[in-house]
Amino acid sequence: MLVVNTETIPGHEIVEIKGLVQGNTIRAKHLGRDIGAGLKNLVGGELTGYTELLTEARRQALQRMLDQASELGANAVVNVRFTTSSVAAGAAEMYAYGTAVVAIPNA
């Protein structure tokens, strides 16, 4: 499955639009990561526990979006975007969306 954040795919022609596809996940922080992040805040630097949490959430949201595109018969998703939002104290949503299409290589 081709996945791009542009409206077109270089070297391909979009021959059919299947529609909007999306995937999301909601993740909550846990005590272990909070303690580690609190200590890291004292000395500065990357909060690797939270980086890992967001990476996992992004992968899952993307996979759910791609699964939906496959169900529609698409072989590519264009205009892919990610967004996050807070849904509760300590919990955030990762949302991926794009347009499922059928794209063929240019002759």
pLDDT digits (tens, 9 = 90+) for 55-106: 999 999 999 999 999 999 999 999 999 999 988 877 889 999 999 999 999 9
The pLDDT value recorded for residue 32 is 53
Residue 93 and residue 24 in contact, taking contact as beta carbons nearer than 8 Å:
yes
The pLDDT value recorded for residue 90 is 74
One-letter amino acid for residue 61 of the chain: A
The pLDDT value recorded for residue 39 is 53
More confident residue, 44 or 81: 81
90: domain CATH number? 3.30.110.70
Given its phi and psi angles, is residue 10 left (phi above 0), alpha (psi -120 to 50 degrees) or beta? beta
* Average confidence (pLDDT) over 31-51: 61
- Whole-number average pLDDT of the chain: 87
Q: How many domains does one find in the chain?
A: 1
The pLDDT value recorded for residue 53 is 85
Q: Furthest-apart CA pair in the chain: how many Å?
A: 58
Domain that residue 53 falls in? 2-105
Tell me phi and psi for residue 12, to 5 degrees: -135, 155
Its pTM stands at 0.84
